[in-house]
Amino acid sequence: MSEASRPALQSLDDALARLLSQVVPLGQVESLPTAEALNRVLAAEVRSQIDVPPADNTAMDGYALCAADVAEPGVVLPVAQRVPAGVIGAQHQAGTAARIFTGAQIPLGADAVVMQEQCEALPGEGLGSVRINTAVQSGQWIRRRGEDVEQGSVVLAAGHRLDAAALGLAASVGAAHLSVARRVRVALFSTGDELVMPGEPLKPGAIYNSNRFTLRGLLQGLGCEVIDLGIVPDKLDATRAALREAAAQSDLIITSGGVSVGEEDHLRPAVQAEGSLDLWQIAIKPGKPLAFGKVADPWFIGLPGNPVSSFVTFLLLVRPVILRLQGAAKLAPRRLQVRADFNWPKADKRREFLRARLNDAGGLELFANQSSGVLSSAVWGDGLVDNPPSTTIAAGDAVSYLPFSELLS
């Protein structure tokens, strides 16, 4: 392919906008027990039918009383009752204290709790008495009814990806089942006669198929159903057959390698024969080549073959597509402004994504080798520095940082 016929470089933002303008949510829903909905995307809001907490309760082990009965530290009050969690309807007796335990309902008429560390239990008749060794304010250490969630309020909106905290919140308002988007079915395969699997002999010229494991793991982390079609022989008819098999059972087909402009491979003609294909050149480093199209109904995305290029391109472009298919409300990762504790004196014309990690001083260190073939950089690092085109970095500069924690789920 001549230079004149090569597609122009697209900005990352333009490429992502084009992808997301074509992909629409699958719109298929299933009901799951709340305990089984981790990492799924809510298809319908969760609205609370109760107040949380359902009644005023104590945040501490201690003594419930009326603040007015403690005019100054050192007051001694008789202990009239014990109120463990689960007891309801207890009535406060003026001029007394109630021994109370975390989570227990406040006796009707009491208006404060004093933590046990600020009290001195004294022996005596019945439950004895207690010396209050601190000043007391009305309302202290009381969690009010509805303080966390009010009855009728929306606690989780449709499109929310369910993490462990969200599952706990849904359970706290009594949601036993959740309406979630069904899993996105993603077919994954690799082409290339040079690829072998770990455990097989590594013949001269062969390489282990690391991308298969990386991409499968990324897809599983996003809650996808992965259809792994393995390594496809580097032949046109075999590649076309694999595409047809993938299209029959998936929503999205992902491959790695064979999409660089000018390569002689069977993937491009196979996709063009079975569907439609655009070859894009993205102005990012690592990355650049990307293939996008359709094979029958499923979408097709072909990623570059270099391990880091495939990894980074997936995070930046494939992840948002999968989130869109799932109906997620939030597609963009959260960015941080962090101090660079490194120098990057050579600017590139493309937008660069540098593997880096936070150090104990709160700055960012850079992996020494930023080559697109050095997958160890993605393990060493905990995120990506998003460096604009033609930009150098000096130690002390604030840089845009994308933590992997924002990109891997």
In sequence order, the 6+-apart residues with CB closer than 8 A to the CB of 17 are none
pLDDT over 90 (residue 233): no
Note the pLDDT of residue 5: 54
Summarize the confidence of residues 158-172 as an average pLDDT.
96
d(CA 341, CA 57): 49
For the stretch 191-203, pLDDT in tens is 877 888 888 888 8
Give the chain's domains with CATH numbers. 9-28+182-326 (3.40.980.10), 30-50+150-181 (3.90.105.10), 57-143 (2.170.190.11), 336-407 (2.40.340.10)
Quickly tell me which residue has 């001269």 as its tokens: 204
The pLDDT confidence band at residue 409, using thresholds 50, 70 and 90, is confident
DSSP of 183-234: PPEEEEEEE-TTEE-TTS---TT-EE-HHHHHHHHHHHHTT-EEEEEEEEPS
d(CA 20, CA 294): 14
In sequence order, the 6+-apart residues with CB closer than 8 A to the CB of 336 are 400, 401, 402, 403
Give the amino acid at 315. L
d(CA 88, CA 106): 9
Note the pLDDT of residue 348: 95
Note the pLDDT of residue 194: 85
- 267 phi and psi, to 5 degrees? -70, -45
For the stretch 346-356, pLDDT in tens is 999 999 999 99
The pLDDT confidence band at residue 231, using thresholds 50, 70 and 90, is confident
Summarize the confidence of residues 39-51 as an average pLDDT.
96
Q: Would you call 199 exposed, middle or buried from its count of C-beta atoms within 10 A (0-12, 13-18, 19+)?
A: exposed
State pTM to two decimals: 0.86
For the stretch 244-279, pLDDT in tens is 999 999 999 999 887 665 555 788 899 999 999 998
Summarize the confidence of residues 44-55 as an average pLDDT.
95
d(CA 108, CA 92): 6
The pLDDT confidence band at residue 6, using thresholds 50, 70 and 90, is low
Q: Please indicate whether residue 288 or residue 128 has the higher confidence score (pLDDT).
A: 128
pLDDT over 70 (residue 2): no
User: Across all residues in the chain, what is the average pLDDT?
Assistant: 94
Cβ count near 360 (within 10 Å): 5
